[in-house]
Homo-oligomer: A and B are copies of this chain.
């Protein structure tokens, strides 16, 4: 079958690889109908964390149709449309039993490397999903592939961060960054009833999209974002802010624009291992900081229900629909920031 294979740093290639097969009794073999490229894929593409191993089939965002299922699979049968969580988790370790599946000590990530026990990725024609009763969620009739693909990673990340930002009805919120994560976070933040969601970015097209999702755009290339937010909140600051970029400077903005006693969620994966942190002002403002590496599984069903009800429309951020055969070009476009979100059909 065709699949996108990581060759080395900044080198991916569409290649012929053997079709994967069911090995364990909880496996499902999935015929992929849509995959997507994630910002995390770019991290690996450039040789940053999480590292990819040459020869790995890439991709952790995918939907498909069940083609076969092992004897232990109870929830799914051939023909079912499903979407996958970006990782498989054991369900039995101490952390899984506390409900922290993302922190599973046996976690296996799709499409990265053998460091994560090497689950083959989904930017391919077929993929095998282990422990499918846990890893997959069924897609309702009214939800398209282009909608469902978001719930296994990026939309769950957006919702997770929005929830951890502890937004209450009537609050003012700031989303820092209007890339794919920031735009979906803007959407999800609305589900917690804020009066206002400010969205900070420097790209007019992204800010315009944020406005369509109910955000109040603040162009950081034109105005100082912290001052603009202070001004619009009567010098108080927002109740919560959600960082969606992953830089120390954008986190600093997120911390500075929040009121005393407020909460800062970090949805963006940090691009540095360590960096400077404003300890004293963080402490004097009695803030809370919540990291965003996402506990996906509990969010998949509710997100699908919200999409089915028309209350979330993540597909609006798709900018490019391409063929798997053109995935090399897709990576180039995405890396050049010419695309907001790219989906691939086999």
Residue numbers of A with Cβ under 8 A of B are 25, 49, 72, 74-75, 92, 94-95, 97-100, 102-103, 133, 159, 163-164, 168-172, 188, 190-193, 195-196, 234, 236, 248, 251, 259-261, 266, 269-270, 272-295, 298, 301-303, 305-306, 308-309, 311
A103 proximity list for chain B (CB < 8 A)? 259-261, 285-286
The 5 lowest CB-CB distance pairs between A and B, nearest first, are: A170-B302, A103-B260, A191-B193, A277-B277, A100-B261
- Contact yes or no, B261 A295, CB < 8 A: yes
Query: Which of A170, A191, A192, A294 has the most chain B CB within a 10 Å cutoff?
Result: A170
Contact among B98, B282, B298 with A291 in the assembled complex (CB-CB below 8 Å)? B282
Q: Report the separation of the CA atoms of residues A290 and B287 in the bound assembly, to the nearest whole angstrom.
A: 6
Given A102-B286, A286-B100, A49 and B292 touching (CB < 8 A)? Answer: no
| Neighbour of A94 across the interface among B190, B234, B280, CB < 8 A | B234
**Docked complex Cα distance between A269 and B285 (Å):** 11
Q: Are the C-beta atoms of B193 and A192 separated by less than 8 Å? A: yes
Question: Quick one: given A169-B163, A309-B196, are A291 and B295 in contact (CB under 8 Å)?
Answer: no
Q: Given the complex of chains A and B, what is the CA–CA distance between A269 and B266 in angstroms?
A: 23
Contact indicator A170/B303 (Cβ below 8 Å): yes
Whether the pair A159, B163 counts as a contact (CB closer than 8 A) is no
Closest residue on chain B to residue A98 by CB atoms:
B261
Shortest Cβ gap from A171 to chain B (Å)? 7
The answer to whether A308 touches B195, judged by C-beta atoms less than 8 angstroms apart, is yes
Taking CB atoms, residues of chain B closer than 8 Å to A251 are 279
In the bound complex, residues from chain B placing their C-beta under 8 Å from that of A159 are: 169
Chain B contacts for A172, CB-based, 8 A: 305
In the complex, chain B residues whose CB is within 8 Å of the CB of A72: 25, 72
Q: Which residues of B contact A195 (CB under 8 A)?
A: 302, 305-306, 308-309, 311
12 contacts between A and B (CB under 8 A): A95-B260, A99-B99, A99-B298, A169-B191, A170-B305, A191-B193, A193-B311, A272-B280, A283-B292, A284-B291, A287-B291, A288-B291
Contact between chains at B278 and A286 (CB < 8 Å): no
Q: How far is the CA of A270 from the CA of B102 in the complex (A)?
A: 31
B-chain residues with CB within 8 Å of residue A248 when the two chains form the complex: 279
Contact pick for A75, options B92, B273, B280, B285, CB 8 Å: B92
User: Are A102 and B261 closer than 8 Å at their CB atoms?
Assistant: yes
Q: For A97, list chain B residues within 8 Å (CB).
A: 298, 301
Q: Which residues of B contact A49 (CB under 8 A)?
A: 280
Q: Is the CB of A283 within 8 A of B278?
A: no
Among B192, B260, B302, which residue has its beta carbon within 8 angstroms of that of A102?
B260
Distance between A141 CB and nearest chain B CB, rounded to angstroms:
13
**Which of A164, A308, A309 counts the most B-chain CB atoms under 10 A from its CB?**
A309
